[in-house]
Amino acid sequence: MNVSTSIICSSGTSHHSRFQLFDFPENSNYLVIFYISHLFFVMMSLTINYFKIWI
């Protein structure tokens, strides 16, 4: 469980630092949509890995 959370933290920080390059003064909705989709992608990959362990 700690390994997966550290992976999430590292991927999240890389995406966050990548966003520092861009400036979205008025396009904050795009950030929210990207964050939700990224969160959904991480959850999907975690569940897939979880099922791989049990299978």
Least confident of 13-17, 31-35, 36-40: 13-17
Residue 40 has φ and ψ, to the nearest 5°, of -65, -40
Give the global pTM. 0.40
Q: Is the pLDDT of residue 7 over 60?
A: no
Structure tokens at 15: 């995406």
Q: Is the pLDDT of residue 9 over 50?
A: no
In a 10 Å sphere around its CB, with 0-12 CB exposed, 13-18 middle and 19+ buried, how is residue 47 labelled?
A: exposed
